[in-house]
Amino acid sequence: MIKNILVLCTGNSCRSQIAEGFIRHYYGDEVTVYSAGIETHGVNPKAIATMAEVGIDISKHTSNHVDTYLDIPFDLIITVCDHAAEQCPVFPSLAQRVHRNFPDPAKAQGSSEDIEASFRSTRNLIDLFCREELKGILK
């Protein structure tokens, strides 16, 4: 049974925060979920707003460095960007690893509408991943 989950991305500002929010939403009390980055950039306000659109509040989330969690016995480590997958530290555990590279909405350019659309697109991809792909692992 998977209990402790770590979601990793580069800056722990968007993708890992969104995934943490969806995992908490869908799997709640069944798991303990953490998110972290190989750097910390703060939680992106656009990620908070984008999740609020679907009724999930991540405004209290914090941006954490992966080293903070090195002593936690994770059952599942999810990397949500290629950079984090390549730079992820070795955890002294038998944690199952899952990797999916999602587009970084924080790098979106263009009008405010274009940037919002990028955040929504990434949010929707992560939602589908958490709802459908993780279901087979977590349930």
130 is catalytic: no
The confidence score (pLDDT) of residue 94 equals 80
Q: Kindly name the residue from 72, 88, 117, 125 that is annotated as catalytic.
A: 88
Q: In the block, which residue shows the tokens 């968007």? A: 14
What does the pLDDT look like over 49-107, one tens digit per residue?
A: 999 999 999 999 999 999 899 889 999 999 998 877 666 656 656 889 999 999 999 99
- Diameter of the chain by CA atoms? 45
Please indicate whether residue 14 is annotated as part of the active site: no
From the list 8, 9, 48, 138, the catalytic residue is 9
pTM above 0.85, yes or no: yes
Q: Which of 81, 85, 126, 130 is catalytic?
A: 81
Per-residue confidence (pLDDT) for residue 33, from 0 to 100: 96
Residue 88 is a catalytic residue? yes
CATH code at 108?
3.40.50.2300
pLDDT score, position 12 = 92
DSSP output for 95-136: -EEEE-----GGG--SSHHHHHHHHHHHHHHHHHIIIIITHH
Domain hosting 75: range is 4-138
Q: Please give the share of the chain, as a percent, with pLDDT higher than 90.
A: 72
Number of structural domains the chain divides into: 1
